[in-house]
């Protein structure tokens, strides 16, 4: 089976009962089976049935990718969706794409492909005050590099928006956050997927991912701020981070944002060796136990993001 000829999509990005402009396949026993022809519609029952078997994704032929992308974009900008529905569609279609981006050997193409995702998130978060709370509630509790990267990107856009960033800056910040851990590609998989604490040698390898990331991005046409998010996101406001031990305002402001959202996502996500904290506990832990590691003004903005998102919810 030629998997490279197809890309995965998530079922929630499809509108039930309306004709779709691309073909859908499913993978049955390593064979791609035509599930729905373009021009046909999928029923609500079928979607519900499929949602319960989430391990079984839909596939679309690669040559129809532009049709799928404009379909999703049209759905989001059509005005027919509520802000929660928009958040669901956008996150669903992005997670499949981001998963693919992280497996792609061509970083330039991945950066190019990510532009539409980032623009959609910036517009949604900046235009719809309630979108951020929906996006936070949809964030994944399982830790995979691509889920993590997408959620860090979403939180960073939310934080940047509260901090008054322009749309152009929010796009750079969203891109930098999406690619902040790209250097982990050059760290061995056994270290990345190890379930349990790393030994000294493994930890030294792992701590090289910001440099690896910078080397990767230096070959691409990206803004300096995008590179800074990648290279400086493990620096600490106190000067005891890595790799350069930069201090306070010597750290790029966007990297200071990613330092906050990266830790928040790690604390609230389940890994094999820890239990996830609730959003509230994670924020309290970061404020009181780790507080001095972060830019105090940006930490305040992060608290504001969480307060706005959860002020109407009892789960916080």
Segment contacting Fe ion by CB under 5 A, of 48-56, 121-129, 178-186, 222-230: 178-186
Segment contacting Fe ion by CB under 5 A, of 95-103, 112-120, 180-188, 276-284: 180-188
Instruction: Give how far Cα 244 sits from Cα of 152, 231, 255, Å.
Output: 22, 9, 13
Beta strand 58-61 with 24-28 is antiparallel
Question: Does the footprint of Fe ion cover residue 151 (CB under 5 A)?
Answer: no
Q: Which of 99, 151, 172, 181 binds Fe ion (CB under 5 A)?
A: 181
Q: How far apart are CA 50 and CA 44, in angstroms?
A: 10
Comparing CA positions, the residue from 134, 141, 132 lying closest to residue 301 is 132
Q: How far apart are CA 173 and CA 185, in angstroms?
A: 21
Judged by beta carbon, residue 172 or residue 262, the one nearer Fe ion is 262
Site for Fe ion in 43-62 (CB under 5 A): none
Instruction: Give how far Cα 122 sits from Cα of 22, 77, 128, 131, Å.
Output: 27, 13, 10, 11
List of residues 6+ apart from 238 with CB closer than 8 A:
247, 292, 293
Question: Does the footprint of Fe ion cover residue 262 (CB under 5 A)?
Answer: yes
Question: Does the footprint of Fe ion cover residue 235 (CB under 5 A)?
Answer: no
Segment contacting Fe ion by CB under 5 A, of 41-49, 116-124, 256-264, 306-314: 256-264
Judged by beta carbon, residue 36 or residue 98, the one nearer Fe ion is 98
Judged by beta carbon, residue 123 or residue 181, the one nearer Fe ion is 181
What's the closest the beta carbon of residue 306 comes to Fe ion, in angstroms?
Answer: 19
Structure tokens at 262: 């990266």
The site for Fe ion (CB under 5 A) is made up of 181, 262
């Amino acid at each position: 089976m030629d998997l490279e000829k197809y890309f995965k999509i998530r079922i929630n990005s499809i509108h039930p009962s309306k004709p779709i402009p691309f073909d859908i396949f499913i993978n049955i026993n390593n064979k791609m089976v035509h599930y729905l022809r373009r021009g046909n519609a999928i029923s609500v029952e079928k979607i519900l049935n499929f949602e319960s078997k989430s391990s079984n994704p839909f596939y679309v032929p690669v040559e129809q990718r532009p049709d799928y992308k404009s379909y999703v974009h049209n759905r989001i900008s059509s005005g027919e969706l509520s802000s929660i529905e928009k958040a669901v569609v956008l996150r669903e279609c992005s997670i499949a794409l981001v998963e693919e981006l992280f497996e792609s050997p061509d970083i330039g193409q991945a950066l190019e492909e990510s532009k539409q995702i980032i623009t959609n998130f910036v517009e949604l978060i900046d235009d719809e005050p309630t979108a951020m709370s929906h996006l936070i509630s949809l964030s994944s509790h399982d830790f995979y590099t691509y889920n993590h990267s997408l959620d860090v990107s979403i939180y960073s856009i939310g934080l940047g928006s509260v901090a008054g960033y322009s749309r152009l800056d929010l796009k750079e910040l969203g891109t930098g956050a999406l690619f902040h851990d790209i250097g982990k590609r050059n760290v061995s998989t056994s270290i990345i997927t190890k379930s349990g604490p790393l030994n000294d040698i493994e930890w030294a390898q792992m701590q090289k991912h910001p440099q690896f990331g910078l080397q990767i991005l230096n070959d691409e046409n990206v803004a300096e701020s995008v590179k800074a998010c990648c290279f400086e996101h493990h620096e600490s406001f106190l000067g005891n981070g890595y790799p350069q031990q930069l201090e306070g305002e010597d750290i790029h402001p966007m990297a200071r944002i990613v330092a906050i959202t990266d830790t928040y996502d790690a604390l609230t996500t389940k890994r094999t060796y820890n239990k996830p904290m609730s959003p509230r506990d994670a924020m309290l832990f970061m404020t009181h136990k780790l507080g001095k590691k972060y830019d105090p003004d940006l930490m305040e903005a992060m608290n504001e993001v969480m307060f706005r998102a959860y002020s109407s919810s009892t789960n916080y």
